[in-house]
């Protein structure tokens, strides 16, 4: 068995049995164990139990103590305050527990798989065809990627869906223009090489602007463009082929950005809006037949008691427009049918901007009424807030345009590279390593800034702060990791090894007890979809490591055994940092 029972779980179990032994009716009661400043752990659950049993809490606590088995994990326990239990863990137990994590050959550091797992379909990283990606798409990609990694780590089956915006009336205009100007999407690189992501986007931008200008100025073109929409919806082959060109060109661009983000997006997982075309008519028919949707002024609508406009009139979810066209909602409802009935999802996640909350509320409610979302399927939007500029307003360029994601990432890498270069000589980095580290630090900084605040909150995009070496940044964590590697290199022949017989210094105990909580943290973070709590855990871990260095010399330890034990503590901390950062999608360079 590779998975390790955490110290807190052991204490919890001991307390629970002692509680049951004292008050048989209390079987199953939670002793409410917490990490505490007063002791290693404090249990506060006895107060409520005493109240229920009409007993004196301090007396009850004393009774529980008398039933508690000490000498193993628990070194000492005492009653404090109105009836709290202060628990001290044995040094030996801490070291042995950590040694078991360290020995886990699966690379999971003793973290067990979740007891219950299912299939989660997660909708994230969904940019729009023929459009520039912006910071909103950054958030969806970064948060989604972290959630995927976390869920997979706990044993969940995860299906990724990139619901790209690849359908709609705007394509009529673009396709018509391309048909009339057939060479406009040809590769500008005359050497015949594939276009770069940047080229692809500038081609698309140019085409978009030109077709828009024509559409606005030329009535006849406008008519032809509208007719083209009909052809597209009817699946006319030439029209579809042209549409495909736009999608392919856009994918070149998307993949280049995802690559910059150091993120793997797989082609089969890109199932855009167009992927549900064949289901739309049936989705509408089912909704209409069941009475979930009704015709209103020609459109097929779903109404909600609690969704009203400013004038007090109900605002419906429009599934089919009066001209017969299907919109965003019809696609999302069809996607739900696909994800539940075909992909067999037990959970549906949507990592989408909070401004789309009403859309998802209505879509989920509609799917529930239609019976597509049963009580056994959890559907939820992981809504994220807006990225703000330093001025606290939505992030825009000085000219008021949305900021291009690529420019932003390039700048982050540039700044990070400067930070890395400063120390490069001291650390002995080659130019290649400087470039690679600059990328890992810059992209890591952007991801960490996004992941370290709760998703639903807005956050300020401040590169100076993001690449700062001090404070709650990814660079700080990356340095903590690299510092351990440097010490391990300097240790020469000395090898990390656990010595459970050694007494631990306070900083070692604090570090050890925090390491013990990694598994619990990962499970909590994965089940609540809250990567920011993992970021907070890792930041605390790095801080414990800093205190440990300050108070416990490693290479100058008093005895060889102590040195080995400290190397072991440092190495386990580094591995935990690495595993945790990997779950957030952030790299940990070996030398920094």
In the complex, the smallest distance separating the C-beta of residue 101 from ligand ARG, rounded to whole angstroms, is 38
Backbone angles phi, psi at 293, to 5 degrees: -115, 150
Backbone angles phi, psi at 194, to 5 degrees: -60, 145
**Could you tell me which stretch among 17-25, 122-130, 257-265, 377-385 binds ligand ARG (CB under 6 A)?**
122-130
Choice between 283 and 573, CB closer to ligand ARG:
283
**Could you tell me which stretch among 120-128, 184-192, 286-294, 374-382 binds ligand ARG (CB under 6 A)?**
120-128
In the complex, the smallest distance separating the C-beta of residue 515 from ligand ARG, rounded to whole angstroms, is 38
The SS3 of residue 396 is strand
Choice between 357 and 469, CB closer to ligand ARG:
357
Instruction: Give the count of beta carbons closer than 10 Å to the beta carbon of residue 254.
Output: 25
Site string for ligand ARG, 315-354 (x = CB under 6 A): -----------------x-----------------x-x--
Choice between 22 and 126, CB closer to ligand ARG:
126
Choice between 162 and 514, CB closer to ligand ARG:
162
Q: Which of 120, 128, 334, 573 binds ligand ARG (CB under 6 A)?
A: 128
- Distance, in Å, from the CA atom of 383 to the CA atom of 364, rounded to the nearest integer, reads 14
Spatial CB neighbours of 7, under 8 Å, sequence gap ≥ 6: 73, 89, 93, 94, 97, 513, 516
In the complex, the smallest distance separating the C-beta of residue 270 from ligand ARG, rounded to whole angstroms, is 12
Choice between 177 and 328, CB closer to ligand ARG:
328
In the complex, the smallest distance separating the C-beta of residue 170 from ligand ARG, rounded to whole angstroms, is 13
Outline where 315-460 has alpha helix (H).
328-337, 357-369, 405-427, 431-451
Q: With beta carbons less than 8 A apart as the criterion, state whether 109 and 582 touch.
A: no
The SS3 of residue 552 is coil
In the complex, the smallest distance separating the C-beta of residue 359 from ligand ARG, rounded to whole angstroms, is 7
What is the Rg, in whole angstroms, of the alpha carbon atoms belonging to the chain? 29
Q: With beta carbons less than 8 A apart as the criterion, state whether 382 and 113 touch.
A: no
Question: How many chain residues interact with ligand ARG (CB under 6 A)?
Answer: 8
- Distance, in Å, from the CA atom of 374 to the CA atom of 571, rounded to the nearest integer, reads 47
Cα-to-chain-centroid distance, residue 271: 20
Cβ burial, residue 497 (10 Å; 0-12/13-18/19+): middle
Strand order in the sheet with 33-35: 33-35, 41-43, 84-89, 74-80
Choice between 109 and 382, CB closer to ligand ARG:
382
Q: Which residues of 543-554 are buried (b: 16+ CB within 10 A; e: fewer)?
A: bbbbebbeebeb
In degrees, to the nearest 5, what angle opens at C-alpha 460 toward C-alphas 457 and 466? 115
Site string for ligand ARG, 252-291 (x = CB under 6 A): ----------------------------------------
Q: Per rule CB under 6 A, is residue 123 in the interface with ligand ARG?
A: yes
Task: List Cα–Cα distances, 98 to 119, 125, 172, 547, in angstroms.
Answer: 32, 37, 62, 19
In the complex, the smallest distance separating the C-beta of residue 460 from ligand ARG, rounded to whole angstroms, is 22
In the complex, the smallest distance separating the C-beta of residue 425 from ligand ARG, rounded to whole angstroms, is 44
Find tokens 């007090």 and name the residue.
Answer: 312
Choice between 22 and 331, CB closer to ligand ARG:
331
In the complex, the smallest distance separating the C-beta of residue 347 from ligand ARG, rounded to whole angstroms, is 15
**Could you tell me which stretch among 123-131, 371-379, 436-444, 447-455 binds ligand ARG (CB under 6 A)?**
123-131
Site string for ligand ARG, 530-569 (x = CB under 6 A): ----------------------------------------
Q: Which of 126, 170, 474, 478 binds ligand ARG (CB under 6 A)?
A: 126
- Distance, in Å, from the CA atom of 273 to the CA atom of 214, rounded to the nearest integer, reads 27
In the complex, the smallest distance separating the C-beta of residue 160 from ligand ARG, rounded to whole angstroms, is 12
Site string for ligand ARG, 137-176 (x = CB under 6 A): --------------------------x-x-----------
For the record, the structure tokens of 143 come out as 């948060």
Choice between 163 and 439, CB closer to ligand ARG:
163
Outline where 261-326 has alpha helix (H).
277-289
Binding site for ligand ARG (CB under 6 A): 123, 126, 128, 163, 165, 332, 350, 352
């Amino acid at each position: 068995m590779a998975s390790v029972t955490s110290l807190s779980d052991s204490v919890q179990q001991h307390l629970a049995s002692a509680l049951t032994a004292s008050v048989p009716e209390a079987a199953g009661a939670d002793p409410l164990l917490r990490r505490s400043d007063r002791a290693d752990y404090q249990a506060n659950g006895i107060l409520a139990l005493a109240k229920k049993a009409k007993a004196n809490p301090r007396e009850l606590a004393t009774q529980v103590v008398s039933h508690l088995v000490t000498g193993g994990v628990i070194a000492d326990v005492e009653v404090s305050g109105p009836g709290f239990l202060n628990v001290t863990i044995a040094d030996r137990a801490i070291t042995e527990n950590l040694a078991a994590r360290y020995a886990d050959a699966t690379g999971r550091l003793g973290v067990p798989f979740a007891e219950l797992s299912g299939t989660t379909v997660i909708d994230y990283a969904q940019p729009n065809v023929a459009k520039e990606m912006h910071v909103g798409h950054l958030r969806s990609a970064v948060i989604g990627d972290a959630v995927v990694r976390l869920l997979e780590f706990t044993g969940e089956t995860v299906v990724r869906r990139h619901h790209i915006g690849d359908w709609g009336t705007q394509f009529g205009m673009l396709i018509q223009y391309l048909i009339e100007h057939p060479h406009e999407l040809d590769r500008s690189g005359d050497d015949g090489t594939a276009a770069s992501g940047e080229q692809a986007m500038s081609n698309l931008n140019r085409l978009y602007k030109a077709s828009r200008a024509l559409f606005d100025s030329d009535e006849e073109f406008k008519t032809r463009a509208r007719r083209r929409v009909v052809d597209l919806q009817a699946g006319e082959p030439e029209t579809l082929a042209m549409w495909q060109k736009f999608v392919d060109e856009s994918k070149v661009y998307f993949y280049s950005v995802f690559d910059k983000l150091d993120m793997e997006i797989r082609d089969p997982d890109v199932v855009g809006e167009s992927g549900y075309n064949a289901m739309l008519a049936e989705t509408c028919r089912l909704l209409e037949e069941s009475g979930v949707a009704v015709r209103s002024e020609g459109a097929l609508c779903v109404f909600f008691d609690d969704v009203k406009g400013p004038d007090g009139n109900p605002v419906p979810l429009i599934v089919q427009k009066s001209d017969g066209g299907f919109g965003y909602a019809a696609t999302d409802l069809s996607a739900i049918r696909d994800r539940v009935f075909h992909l067999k999802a037990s959970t549906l996640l949507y990592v989408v901007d909070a401004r789309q909350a009403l859309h998802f509320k209505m879509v989920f409610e509609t799917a529930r009424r239609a019976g597509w979302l049963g009580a056994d399927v959890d559907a939820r939007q992981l809504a994220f807030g807006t990225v703000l500029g330093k001025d606290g307003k939505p992030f825009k360029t000085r000219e008021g345009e949305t900021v291009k994601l690529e420019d932003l990432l390039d700048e982050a890498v540039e700044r990070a590279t400067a930070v890395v270069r400063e120390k490069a000589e001291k650390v002995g980095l080659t130019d290649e390593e400087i470039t690679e580290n600059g990328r890992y630090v810059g992209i890591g900084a952007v991801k960490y800034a996004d992941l370290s605040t709760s998703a639903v909150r807005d956050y300020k995009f401040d590169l100076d702060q993001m690449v700062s070496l001090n404070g709650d940044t990814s660079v700080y964590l990356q340095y903590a990791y690299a510092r351990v590697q440097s010490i391990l290199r300097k240790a020469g022949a000395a090898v990390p090894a656990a010595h459970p017989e050694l007494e631990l210094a306070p900083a070692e105990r604090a570090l050890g007890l925090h390491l013990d909580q990694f598994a619990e943290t990962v499970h909590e973070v994965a089940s609540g979809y809250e990567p920011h709590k993992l970021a907070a855990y890792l930041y605390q871990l790095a801080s414990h490591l800093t205190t440990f260095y300050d108070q416990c010399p490693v290479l100058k330890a008093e005895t060889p055994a102590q040195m080995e034990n400290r190397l072991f503590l440092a190495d386990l901390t580094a591995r935990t940092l690495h595993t945790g950062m990997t779950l957030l999608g952030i790299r940990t360079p070996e030398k920094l």
